[in-house]
Structure formats: C-alpha cells, structure tokens
Chain A
C-alpha cells in the first residue's frame, strides 16, 4: 500500500511537470511543422511569460487587489499578450529575413535571439532569482498518518486543469477552425497554400503567437509551482520541452503532448526511485535513444519522398 501511494505520488508529480513540458513543446513542434526550424528562443519566450506574470501579480498586489481569480486571470492574460507579442516579434526580426536560406542560418539566428533575450532580462530584472508567490496553497492528502502520505496539491490540480483546457482548445482550433485548417495545409505544402491566395506569412506568425501564448501559460503555472524565477528559467525548461517534442515526433501536436507527459513521468520516477540528480541525465539519454532508434519520434511520420 505504501509502495503504491509512493508510486502514485511520483506519477502525479511527473504528470504535473510533464503537462507543462507539453505546453511548451507545442511551440517547438508547431513552428517546426510549418517552417522546419527549431525556434531555440522559445524557452526564453516562456521565461518572459513567467516574468510578466510575476510583474502583473506584484502590480495587482500594490494596487490592493486581493481576489485570487482576478489576480490569476490578469496575470495569465498579461503573460499571454506579452509573450505572444515577443513570439511574433522574434519571428519578424530574426527569422523571416533569413527564411529560405541554408538551414543553419535560421538556427544560428535563433540561438542568437535566445542569448539576447536572456541577457535582456538579466539587465532588466537582475540576475538573481526572484520569489514567485505560490498563490494557490494547500493540498488533498491521502494515506495513513504514520506511513507515507500522498498529497495532491491545489496548484497541481490547477496545472492539470489549465493544461487540459489549453490542449482541448488547441485541438479544437487546429481541427475545426478556418485558421487551424490553414495551419495544417501550410505545414503540408506551404507553396501550394500560397497558390491558393493564402498569405502564408500570416499563418507562420500565427503559429509563433499560439506557441508563445501556450508557453506563457506554462510560465505562470511553473512560476507558481517552483516559487521562483530567474533569467535562466527558460533555458533548461526549453531544452526539456524540445526533448519532449522530439520524443513525441517533432511536427506532431499529439506527439508533443505525449512526449511531454512521458518525459515528466520519466523524470519524476528517476527522482523518486534513483536520485534527483539523475533526472536530467535520464531525460537527455531518452533524447539520444530516440534519435538513435526512432528518429521520427513516437508519433512522428517518416518523411516520405514525394514522387
């Protein structure tokens, strides 16, 4: 019984982290699906989302707003708007001018953008980590008081529910809406979509904006979960989300969701049964293994040469 509780606890922790990885991974996978590049500045967009949420929360506190739903919604909306604007601007400034060149050029531009944004936040917000109010405290507890006690905190529930809403919204948007359909068409044949009169630049911008907005949601959630942010906040999370995207099959949205969850659970199981120090080793070993044995990822489609 104790073992089962312990296992469930790790599972819950893993799914919590995993679902936020999935939120960030969507941004990598959608952009890759459409223009075939890895947006290495995406982790920074997520970090900026977390900072914006923090600034909004602090601002509301100064104004004396104390009602939690208002604080959360305002912080979320601010973070999404600022991150989306950033995502849009990064594409316009750093990627669009070099699109269509050799694959390495946008990649280098992305890394440059990532370094720039990190250092910009360093300068603007200082390099030390800043406490992030957890806002949602308390938890459900299960299990006996003498043995291991399993807890499911309210913030974890918030993370699950928010992620679920975002993913459902995204799935509906992609499968049902006019723009979503255009996104899928553009990712299959950008030139043809253009020949149908579709302004493909706008669709590309839209994917950056959507990815950035979801990353901002993750930024607020993980800020509250971890309780602090710093300018390097996006670096590791970005790498993990990228790993999740590759694991699930880069370019595939369900793949990013699955990859995020697998990675999160894998990490928390490692922390729970081995040691927390091994969790990054495990996640990046997973990346190497998947690249070696199934380069297209779990749900990715092999690239078919068109005849």
Chain B
C-alpha cells in the first residue's frame, strides 16, 4: 500500500535519511521505532511530501507521490496525526473535526463525526469547547478523530502517546487496535517501543537515518539488540 524505496531526505544540506526502504501493506499495523533524532518524524513527513525526498521513490497505492505537493498527497486516502498533535486550539472541537473532513460532503462529514464521537465519547461532550482548553489526552483524541474524518484507508501516527498519562496511553493503543479492525492500515511511530511492537504486525528499527532491523513485531520484541537498546534491557 505504502512503499518507500531507497529514500534520501535532506534538511537544507544535512541528509536526515540515508536511503530508507519501508513497506506498509494493506490492513497492517507497522511500527517504526528508534531513538530521538533517528529520523522517524522525517520519514513520516517525507511520506507527506514535506520535506520531499531528494532521491528514491515514495509510492502510495501504486502511484508515485514522491514529487506531489503535500495537499495532493493528503487527499489520496492518507491522514496523519502529527507529533505534538497540532490541533487548531482556537477552533472548537467540532470545527477541528470539520477541518479534518474538509473535502467531504456534508452528509459524509456528519457520518464520520458520529463515528468519531462513538470512538471518543469525550469529544462529543466537549463539542463546542475551544480545543486548546482541553487536556493533553483529549487533544490527542481530537487529533486522531480529525485524521479519521477524511475516511482514510491509511493513518500515520507520530508519537501518539507522548506526554500522556498511562491510562490515556492504554486507551489510545486500544483505539489503534480498533482502527485495524475497521480495515484502516496504521503506520505508527513510537518511543514507547514495547507497546508499539506488541500491537504491530511488523516493525522497523530506524537508527541515524537508516533502517537497522526489520521483522515481525513479536520477533523484534524478543530480539536481544532491540531489548537492550529500546526496551530497557
């Protein structure tokens, strides 16, 4: 479904990704783990075309999107929950959701909105509240809900558990599992390697801009190198 082939990405003159190849198949949960600064966010943002890959190919559903502008890519059935959530804090919860479904018809928006409220009843309670006044966990739910509004067949999540309470993290991971049940492909970046690999069908380990390891989630969890470096021994 999503294929990255030998992708190099630069920030100015600095190369952040040195030839990365990743594949995410339909219906899978794929986790990408790695230390701070390994290039995880860069990899996800390269998929979104911001920044664009300097060489290599990004293919989504069989179409080469390497040179497409971000706005085109994000209308091709893919949605992102970015690092730091980036909800529109001055807009209400409902308005944030409507921004997520910007290109859908009113009827579709209503339907997706109901679906999001089923997943996160909390958001319905806060519907007309300014998004910036909510707690971190609620904002994360909103960011996921906003991404679901466009009815994507693939969702990219960048550190969805960052800075959240353990109970909320548990809930977020449950929702991610539920997305798979609905047939949405999930590409997940996490620092919380244990939970991410536990949930994932397959996982990639990114180190300083290169893929070091690639295996099923279960095998990676048992891999001694991964245990040492990312699972606290």
Q: Which residues of A contact B (CB under 8 A)?
A: 178, 181-182, 184-185, 188-189, 191-200, 306
Main secondary structure of the interface of B (DSSP, over half): loop
B217 within 8 A of A: no
B98 within 8 A of A: yes
Supposing A191-B50, A195-B80 touch, asked if A184 and B88 sit within 8 A by C-beta, the answer is yes
Which chain A residues lie closer than 8 Å to B100 at the CB level? 196
A178 to B80 alpha-carbon distance, docked (Å): 21
Option from B72, B80, B98, B150 in Cβ contact (under 8 Å) with A181: B98
B38 within 8 A of A: no
A178 to B103 alpha-carbon distance, docked (Å): 10
Decide: A198 and B71 in contact? CB cutoff 8 A: yes
Option from B72, B82, B84, B98 in Cβ contact (under 8 Å) with A195: B82
Which chain B residues lie closer than 8 Å to A191 at the CB level? 50, 86
B57 within 8 A of A: no
Size category of the binding interface on chain B = 20 to 34
A3 to B233 alpha-carbon distance, docked (Å): 85
Which chain A residues lie closer than 8 Å to B82 at the CB level? 192, 195
A149 to B16 alpha-carbon distance, docked (Å): 75
Decide: B50 and A197 in contact? CB cutoff 8 A: no
Which chain A residues lie closer than 8 Å to B79 at the CB level? 196
Interchain Cβ contacts under 8 Å between A and B, 18 examples = A181-B95, A181-B98, A184-B88, A184-B90, A184-B91, A184-B95, A191-B50, A193-B99, A195-B70, A195-B80, A195-B82, A196-B100, A196-B150, A197-B73, A197-B75, A198-B71, A198-B99, A198-B102
Decide: B91 and A196 in contact? CB cutoff 8 A: no
- Which residues of chain B from 16 to 68 have a CB within 8 Å of any chain A CB? 48, 50
Option from A189, A194, A199 in Cβ contact (under 8 Å) with B88: A189
Decide: A192 and B88 in contact? CB cutoff 8 A: yes
What distance in Å separates the Cβ of A285 from its nearest Cβ neighbour in chain B? 32
Given A178-B102, A185-B95: 15 more A-B contacts, CB < 8 Å: A178-B98, A182-B102, A184-B88, A184-B91, A184-B95, A188-B88, A188-B91, A189-B88, A194-B71, A195-B48, A195-B50, A195-B74, A196-B99, A199-B69, A199-B71
B146 within 8 A of A: yes
What distance in Å separates the Cβ of A30 from its nearest Cβ neighbour in chain B? 15
B89 within 8 A of A: yes
Which chain A residues lie closer than 8 Å to B70 at the CB level? 194-195
Which chain A residues lie closer than 8 Å to B73 at the CB level? 197
Which chain B residues lie closer than 8 Å to A193 at the CB level? 99
Decide: B90 and A197 in contact? CB cutoff 8 A: no
Supposing A181-B95, A195-B74, A197-B103 touch, asked if A188 and B90 sit within 8 A by C-beta, the answer is yes
A195 to B82 alpha-carbon distance, docked (Å): 9
Which chain B residues lie closer than 8 Å to A196 at the CB level? 74, 79, 99-100, 102, 146, 150
Which chain A residues lie closer than 8 Å to B88 at the CB level? 184-185, 188-189, 192
What distance in Å separates the Cβ of B10 from its nearest Cβ neighbour in chain A? 16
Among B48, B84, B99, B150, the one with the most A-chain Cβ atoms within 10 Å of its Cβ is B99
